[in-house]
Amino acid sequence: MSLQTLVAEPWSDYALLDSGDARKLERYGRYRFIRPEPQAMWPPHAPDWDADAEFLPASDEEGGGRWQFANDIPPDGWPLAWQDVRFQAQCTPFRHLAFFPDMAPHWAWMRERIAPGSEALNLFGYTGVGSLALAAKGAAVTHVDASKKSVEAARANAVLSGLADKPIRWLVDDAAKFAAREVRRGRRYDGIVLDPPKFGRGPAKELWQLETGLPGLIADCAKLLDTESRFLVLTVYAVRMSALAIGELLAQATAHLGGEVELGEMAVREEARGLLLPTAIFARWSRRK
């Protein structure tokens, strides 16, 4: 296993502008936002921030809160792009903007390894930016998310990207149950990406808890890969878990496949000073080139 840091660099439609005092200032297209960020423990570069909106967290630890708007923001979202993928950003009740920009290094890495005609599985696929990044390279994608609203947003992003005619299966389903059924069906995939939440519920109120559900899910995902498969990407946010732990979990599950496992932290580079703001941990398996 190799340890590394994956850094999301600024691009035309996204940048981390400044960070500090447990907050971060970001640009999403033409709009600027302030959001809570406990890991920004240093002082900010600039003493005052000018933003179009700020997310004010609730006093509890359940992730609640509300947006406070200084300027008009389109309530239904506004279009952004990453390379050849188009999608809508939007102020959600969950403090994020309907996609995760720190995933960009993973999108690029997967696109280097996927081939036209390959089959990819995106579990907990959310609004579909990762699915569309793969579909744009010619992969047939199965996109699974428990939220009907998220899957509808992903389908709309496919239209926005000019990819509505690509072979993408859009499924509202419980990710763990779907993976287990695919194993029973004898299915296989060339690549799998999963970005599970800490806690969630499936469409039939199935309970998902990361610490207890992840080992079984990884075991099933490994069974959906074979010696011709190319990758499995796992990202984990907002939990008391080590990259070493999920790296070892993935290494043991994929030992029969050969290849290699990388693990470490994900981060976004701040424009103001170039420092790295950590966001998540990851582990990923790939076939050696």
pLDDT tens, position by position, 103-151: 999 999 999 999 999 999 999 999 999 999 999 999 999 999 999 999 9
Question: In whole angstroms, what separates CA 234 from the centre of its chain?
Answer: 9
* pLDDT of 31: 98
For residue range 70-108, list pLDDT tens digits in order: 999 999 999 999 999 999 999 999 899 999 999 999 999
Number of domains in the chain: 1
d(CA 107, CA 82): 10
Q: In the predicted model, is pLDDT for residue 54 greater than 80?
A: yes
Computed over every residue of the chain, the mean pLDDT equals 95
d(CA 52, CA 4): 35
Within a domain: 181: yes
CA dihedral of 286, 154, 201, 250, whole degrees rounded to 10: 0
Within a domain: 28: no
d(CA 130, CA 231): 14
Within a domain: 230: yes
Within a domain: 254: yes
Within a domain: 133: yes
> Which residues contact residue 24 at a Cβ distance below 8 angstroms, ignoring those fewer than 6 apart?
16, 18, 34, 35, 37, 40, 277
Within a domain: 199: yes
* pLDDT of 160: 98
Domain coverage including residue 138 = 2-6+94-286
d(CA 230, CA 121): 12
> In 3D, which of 176, 19, 195, 17 has the Cα closest to residue 106?
195
In terms of pTM, does the model score above 0.85?
yes
Q: With bands split at pLDDT 50, 70 and 90, how would you rate the model's confidence at 200?
A: confident
Within a domain: 238: yes
Q: With bands split at pLDDT 50, 70 and 90, how would you rate the model's confidence at 63?
A: low
List the CATH number of the domain containing 145. 3.40.50.150
Segment 198-214 shows an average pLDDT of 89
Q: Give the chain's length.
A: 289
Q: CA angle at residue 35 from 32 to 39, to 5 degrees?
A: 130
Within a domain: 14: no
d(CA 12, CA 124): 26
* pLDDT of 279: 95
